[in-house]
Structure 1
Amino acid sequence: MMQTLAIAAGGATGALMRFWVSTATYAWLGRGFPWGTLMVNVLGSFAMGLLYILFIERLTAGPELRAFLLIGLLGAFTTFSTFSIETFNLIEEAQIGKALLNAGGSVMICIAAAWLGVIAGRQL
C-alpha cells in the first residue's frame, strides 16, 4: 500500500514538473518545434540513468523511495505519449523534416542523456 501511495504522490509531482518545465521551455524557445517535450524527455532520461545507478550500485533506498522517484515522478515527468502525438502532427502538417528530427533527435538524445546519467551516478 505504501508503494502505491508513493507512486501516486510521485506521479502528481512529476506531472506538475512536466507542465512547469515544458511551459518554461516553450516560453524560452517558442512553439515552432516540440522543444518542451524534448526537454522533459532529455532531463527525465538523464535523471533515470543517474538515479538508477545510485539506487542499484551506490545507495540503499527503500522500495517506496524508488517507486516515488523512478515510477511515479519520472514516469509522469517524461512524455512519450505527447512526443508521439506531436511527431504525428508534424507528419500530418507535411513537416517531415521536423518530424524526423524530433523522432530521431528524441531517441538519440534521450539515450545519450540516460548514458550520461549512468556515468554521473558511477562517478559519485
Structure 2
Amino acid sequence: MNWVLVIVGGMVGAPLRYLTDHAVRSRHDSAFPWGTFVVNVVGCLVLGALTGAATAGAASSHLQLLLGTGLCGALTTYSTFSYETLRLAESGARLHAAVNVVASVTAGLGAAFAGVAAAQAVWA
C-alpha cells in the first residue's frame, strides 16, 4: 500500500507545482524562470524539514513516502530546471542561465539545510 501514499502525494504535488508556477509567472514578466525556481526551493525546504523530522524520530516512513517521494517528487522538477536553463542559454540569455544554475543550487541546498535545522530544533 506504500504506492498509494506516493500516488496521493503526487496528486497534490503536481497540480500544486502547476498552480504555483502559473501564479509566480503571472506576477513576474521576466525571462528568468521564477516559477520553477520557487517550486524547487520550496520542495527542498519541505524535504529538508521532513528529513530533519525523520532523523529526530518524528516522521514515519509513511509520511516520508507521502510528502517526500509523492508530494516533493511531483512538486519539484529537475527536468524543467534543466530545460529552462538550456533555453535561456540558447536564446542568448547566458547570464540568466548561469544565475539560474548558481541560484537554484545555492538556494535549494540552503533551503534543505534550513529545513533540517528547523525540524531538528523543533523535535530534538
TM-score, length basis structure 2: 0.93
Q: Contact 2:50/2:59 (CA < 8 Å) preserved in 1?
A: no
Write the deviation string for residues 65-93 of structure 1: whole angstroms up to 9, x where unpaired: 22111001100100111000000001110
Does 2:104 correspond to 1:106?
Answer: yes
Which ranges in structure 1 are unaligned for 5 or more consecutive residues? none
What is the alpha-carbon root mean square deviation over aligned residues? Answer: 1.1
Q: Following the alignment from structure 1 to structure 2, what is the Cα–Cα distance between the partners of residues 42 and 35? A: 10
Q: Contact 2:24/2:35 (CA < 8 Å) preserved in 1?
A: yes
Runs of 4+ in 1 over 3 A off after TM superposition: none
Give the superposition deviation at 1:101.
0.3
Q: Following the alignment from structure 2 to structure 1, what is the Cα–Cα distance between the partners of residues 59 and 42? A: 23
Paired amino acid for 2:3: T
**Stretch of structure 1 that moved more, 36-45 or 20-29:** 20-29
Show the counterpart of 1:44: 43
Give the superposition deviation at 1:22.
1.0
Paired amino acid for 2:40: N
Paired amino acid for 2:92: A
Which ranges in structure 2 are unaligned for 5 or more consecutive residues? none
Show the counterpart of 1:75: 73
Does 2:90 correspond to 1:92?
Answer: yes
Q: Following the alignment from structure 1 to structure 2, what is the Cα–Cα distance between the partners of residues 12 and 91? A: 32
Write the deviation string for residues 6-57 of structure 1: whole angstroms up to 9, x where unpaired: 1011111100110111111111222421000000011000111011111221
Shift in alpha-carbon separation, 1:60–1:44, aligned structure 2, 3 A: closer
Show the counterpart of 2:5: 6
Shift in alpha-carbon separation, 1:99–1:12, aligned structure 2, 3 A: same
Q: Following the alignment from structure 1 to structure 2, what is the Cα–Cα distance between the partners of residues 37 and 75? A: 13
TM-score, length basis structure 1: 0.93
Which secondary structure does the structure 2 equivalent of 1:33 belong to? coil
Give the superposition deviation at 1:105.
0.7
Paired amino acid for 2:71: L
Q: Following the alignment from structure 1 to structure 2, what is the Cα–Cα distance between the partners of residues 110 and 64? A: 24
Q: Following the alignment from structure 2 to structure 1, what is the Cα–Cα distance between the partners of residues 29 and 118? A: 30
